[in-house]
Amino acid sequence: MQRSKIITLLTDFGQQDGYVAAMKGVILGLHPNANLIDLTHEVEPQNVQAGAFLLQTHFRCFPVGTVHLAVVDPGVGSARAALAGRAAGHFFVAPDNGLLDFCLDLSERQVVRLTQNKFWREPVSSTFHGRDIFAPVAAHLARGELLQNLGELFQLQRRLPAFETRLVGKTLRGQVVYIDRFGNLISNISAQQLREFSRDQPITISLAEHLIGGLCQTYAEVPPDSPLALIGSFGFLEIGVNRGNARRRFDARPGDPVNIELGQII
């Protein structure tokens, strides 16, 4: 498969230290023509669930053949596997801790456990596999290295709790799976699920014990500092506050229930 020369980077390293720069330096040393794109380095430290959500919702914005390097790795140095894989025409390099759970639902999936240390940087630090294993492997992949040359075939399994929606009576139940920097609460209820549930009937949306109301199209449909629900840019139901912060307003966190009922509560 043709590679795009693009390598995206997603980490929880932040920008205060030199960790991201070190990874980029290793990549460019092996692949000077690589085009490095920072997807984000502001994942909440050790929040694998948030990293997986961001990777899942953003990777399709890039051309087929892009390599996506994701390092949110609280188990670094442990027995957890280091992985590289291909799915839906994209390549992924990440630890085996749930960052790639979404690949279980993608087509043409192939995953290997990274065992060929000739593709690594030496010596390998027990605390910085991002620099010494994942970064060089991503560079080799972007240069065209075959996936099967990097290690042994690996059976990917779900590592994170499955955030599933459920239909209970006349209520569609979901939950908050990610909170962005604006404080918007992004649920696991997709626009398609919402359409199939409502079938153009009025609905009422609630967050835990907080009544939000019906579905809006834009933030400006409600007065400033008022809560609302809408379908966000990545196709999931979100709860926000116009010119405010829903996370602070509702003291919300991932896992909080989001319920949708048929009918409009007045």
The model carries a pTM of: 0.92
Structural domains for the chain? 6-153 (3.40.50.10790), 166-262 (2.40.30.90)
Over residues 12-68, the pLDDT tens digits come to 999 999 999 999 999 999 999 999 999 999 999 999 999 999 999 999 999 999 999
In the predicted structure, residue 200 carries a pLDDT above the cut 90: no
Please tell me the distance from the alpha carbon of residue 47 to that of residue 177, in angstroms, as a whole number: 11
Over residues 202-245, the pLDDT tens digits come to 999 999 999 999 999 999 999 999 999 999 999 999 999 999 99
| Residue that is written with structure tokens 């926000």 in the block | 240
Averaged pLDDT for residues 88-96: 97
In the predicted structure, residue 169 carries a pLDDT above the cut 90: no
Check residue 164 and give its pLDDT: 81
Check residue 1 and give its pLDDT: 75
SS (H, E, C) the chain: CCCCCEEEEEECCCCCCCHHHHHHHHHHHHCCCCEEEEEECCCCCCCHHHHHHHHHHHHHHCCCCCEEEEECCCCCCCCCCEEEEEECCEEEEEECCCCCHHHHHCCCCEEEEECCHHHCCCCCCCCCHHHHHHHHHHHHHHHCCCHHHCEEECCCCCCCCCCCCEEECCEEEEEEEEECCCCCEEEEEEHHHHHHHHCCCCEEEEECCEEEECEECCHHHCCCCCEEEEECCCCEEEEEECCCCHHHHHCCCCCCEEEEEECCCC
